[in-house]
Amino acid sequence: MSKSEVSRRRVLKSGAAGTAGLALPTIFTASSAAAFTNEPTGGTVTLGFNVPQTGPYADEGADELRAYQLAVEHLNGGGDGGMLNTFSSKVLQGNGILGKKIEFVTGDTQTKSDAARASAKSMIEKDGAVMITGGSSSGVAIAVQGLCQEAGVIFMAGLTHSNDTTGKDKKANGFRHFFNGYMSGAALAPVLKNLYGTDRTAYHLTADYTWGWTQEESIAAATESLGWQTTNKVRTPLAATDFSSYIAPVLNSGADVLVLNHYGGNMVNSLTNAVQFGLRDKVVNGKNFEIVVPLYSRLMAKGAGANVKGIHGSTNWHWTLQDEGSKAFVRSFGTKYGFPPSQAAHTVYCQTLLYADAVARAGSFNPCAVVEALEGYEFDGLGNGPTLYRAEDHQCFKDVLVVRGKENPTSEFDLLEVVEVTPAAQVSYAPDHPMFAGGDLGACNSGA
């Protein structure tokens, strides 16, 4: 009996799909009955976690993956619920999303646009993922965001700090919770003014690719508006490992602040080299020489070791924050894995919750419905205070942390201390700000 059923179904299905396919080649989905790409039809919904698992950012990727698994556990009703308990929206019931149990697939971006897109495509084409999230660099985030826009799925960006992600490369289907270069500059500038005064001369070392440029542009603009001078902006190759030949000219340049617009291995090495050359103990024009690292990450600070002591930078989130959301997250993450989460882990955890919540509020997995639910959405309780997902560019506006390398760490995780929580209002900018201009959000694409 079951046999005949199978064969009948086969005939019907392939016949129907056949005619539909011939008449009008559809994009990504075959059955024109589906309302949007990868509409979940069974009792489960698949999310795609696309993180660097090989290459220099593999550790961050691994931390993101841990946070994703934790988020899935919480959303499916497992564990202690984490930030679900502190999240301002209460529509999530711990029964998956819209009653569908969450399943996930993982992939390796290799921190290369090509590989990241290939991996995301396999999630969409093969595994039927309805949302892609992750990444630990802006190039990859922008590449995958573009793909998701074309394919008609939602992209919830992971760690991406370039202005372009929600600037000139913004896409309707893409959303960023993480802060950006402009915000780093705007948050840091007042703190730097208080600490170092307004009569300062800055020397920039910048990683020579898009993120570095937007970071440099942002921080230079912010500090110059304080009255600081900029003596030099030097681009360093991404592949550089030894920065001595870039650090040495700083010594006699007359500058008294060195800004390192570097991330990852670049930042670890350039900071190590700068300290090696005695810059931290140097006195120029009667002022102590200072080093600033606009984008800090605890994982990278660990790589730089004692060199980070007393050096300022900004970060999206830090595990020492004492609000209820952060505490709940650190508790459930720490209990499960034995160490506190990184900011990358935090942002992707939030993104997963925010996506699930948006679907639940919209009552549909349809990307366009999700976009509508997220646009202009205000929420709280996810560790960054009251936050707005701005409709114009899909960027989250929230408080930004200014942190400093701790002088006397009590543990291997206790490397940074929060100096200042810059309120969201101070880091906000107009959607058409020149640093973000040139992009077009376009219309949401559901793939239908």
Partner 1 sequence: MDAFLLQILNGLDKGSAYALIALGLTLIFGTLGVVNFAHGALFMIGAFCAVTLQRLLNLSFETIDPSQKDFLGNPLKVKTPYIESWFGPDLGGAIIDWSVPLAILFAIPIMIAIGFVMERGLIKHFYKRPHADQILVTFGLAIVLQEVVKYFYGANPIQTPAPDALNGIANLGAIIGMDIVYPVWRIVYFCFSVLIIAAIFAFLQFTTFGMVVRAGMADRETVGLLGINIDRRFTIMFGIAAAVAGLAGVMYTPINPPNYHMGMDFLVLSFVVVVVGGMGSLPGAVLAGFLLGVLESFASTTWATTTLPGINQIIIYVVAIVVLLTRPRGLMGLKGVMED
Partner 2 sequence: MFGLNTKDTKSLFIVAFLVVVAPFILNPFPAASAMAQFNAGYPDLMQKFVIFGIFAIGFNILFGLTGYLSFGHAAFLGIGSYSCVWMFKLLGYNVIPGIVLSVIISGIFALAIGFVSLRRSGIYFSILTLAFAQMSFALAYSVLSNPKFNLTNGETGLQVYANDPQWFHRDSLPDLPHLFGLSMRATHKLEIGAWEFQLNAGYYLCALMMLVCFYLAIRIFRSPFGLMLRAVKSNQQRMNYTGLNTRPYTLAAFVISGMYAGLAGGLLSAVDPLAGAERMQWTASGEVVLMTILGGAGTLIGPVLGAGFIKYFENIFSKINDHVLHSWFAFLPDGLEDFVVFLIHPFIGKGWHLTLGILFMLVVIFLPGGLVEGGQRLGKWLHRRKAKDTPSAKTEPAE
- Verify binding: residue 442, partner 2, rule CB under 8 A: yes
Closer CB to partner 1, residue 194 or residue 245? 245
Closer CB to partner 1, residue 97 or residue 258? 258
- Read off the amino acid at residue 42: G
Find the binding residues for partner 2 in span 26-55 (CB under 8 A).
Answer: 26-31, 53-54
Closer CB to partner 2, residue 172 or residue 258? 172
d(CA 426, CA 402): 13
- Verify binding: residue 276, partner 2, rule CB under 8 A: no
Pick what 388 binds: partner 1, partner 2, none; C-beta below 5 to 8 Å, kind-dependent.
Answer: none
Q: 199-238 mask for partner 2 (x: CB under 8 A)? A: ---------xxxx-----------------------x-xx
Pick what 27 binds: partner 1, partner 2, none; C-beta below 5 to 8 Å, kind-dependent.
Answer: partner 2
Please check whether residue 124 is in contact with residue 98, taking contact to mean a CB–CB distance below 8 angstroms: no
Q: How many residues bind partner 1 (CB under 8 A)?
A: 51
- Verify binding: residue 265, partner 1, rule CB under 8 A: yes
- Altogether, the residues listed in the chain come to a count of 448
d(CA 249, CA 236): 13
Pick what 201 binds: partner 2, partner 1, none; C-beta below 5 to 8 Å, kind-dependent.
Answer: none
Burial of 334 (0-12, 13-18, 19+ CB in 10 A): middle
d(CA 247, CA 253): 10
Q: 114-133 mask for partner 2 (x: CB under 8 A)? A: xx-xxx-xx--xx-------
Query: To the nearest 10°, the Cα dihedral for 104, 108, 114, 119?
Result: -30
Q: How many residues bind partner 2 (CB under 8 A)?
A: 62
Taking CA atoms, 367 is separated from 129, 356, 446, in Å, by 12, 12, 5
Closer CB to partner 2, residue 19 or residue 198? 19
Question: CB under 8 Å to 81, separation ≥6 — which residues?
Answer: 74, 94, 328, 332
Residue 345 φ/ψ, nearest 5 degrees:
-60, -45
Taking CA atoms, 153 is separated from 41, 99, 414, in Å, by 16, 20, 38
Nearest to 140 by CA among 114, 121, 161, 163: 114
Q: Provide the H-helix boundaries in 231-342.
A: 244-251, 265-276, 298-304, 324-337
d(CA 185, CA 218): 5
Pick what 114 binds: partner 1, partner 2, none; C-beta below 5 to 8 Å, kind-dependent.
Answer: partner 2
- Verify binding: residue 336, partner 1, rule CB under 8 A: no
The stretch among 56-64, 94-102, 390-398, 403-411 that binds partner 2 (CB under 8 A) is 56-64
Please check whether residue 311 is in contact with residue 271, taking contact to mean a CB–CB distance below 8 angstroms: yes
Calculate the CA 353 to chain-centre distance: 14
The stretch among 92-100, 112-120, 344-352, 413-421 that binds partner 2 (CB under 8 A) is 112-120
CA angle centred on 403, ends 195 and 321, rounded to 5°: 130
Give DSSP secondary structure letters for 314-363: EES--TT--SHHHHHHHHHHHHHHSSPPPHHHHHHHHHHHHHHHHHHHHT
Pick what 21 binds: partner 2, partner 1, none; C-beta below 5 to 8 Å, kind-dependent.
Answer: partner 2
Pick what 19 binds: partner 1, partner 2, none; C-beta below 5 to 8 Å, kind-dependent.
Answer: none
- Verify binding: residue 376, partner 1, rule CB under 8 A: no
Pick what 119 binds: partner 2, partner 1, none; C-beta below 5 to 8 Å, kind-dependent.
Answer: partner 2
Report, in Å, the least distance between residue 339 CB and partner 2: 18
Calculate the CA 243 to chain-centre distance: 27
Query: Which residues are near partner 1 by CB under 8 A?
Result: 54-59, 62, 208, 232, 234-237, 239, 241-242, 244-246, 248-249, 251-252, 265, 268-269, 272-273, 276-278, 299-300, 302-307, 319-320, 330-331, 334-335, 339-340, 410-411, 413-414
Binding site for partner 2 (CB under 8 A): 6-7, 9-10, 13-14, 17-18, 21, 25-31, 53-54, 58, 61-62, 65, 69, 104-108, 112-115, 117-119, 121-122, 125-126, 137-139, 142-143, 146-147, 150-151, 164, 168-169, 208-211, 235, 237-239, 438, 440, 442
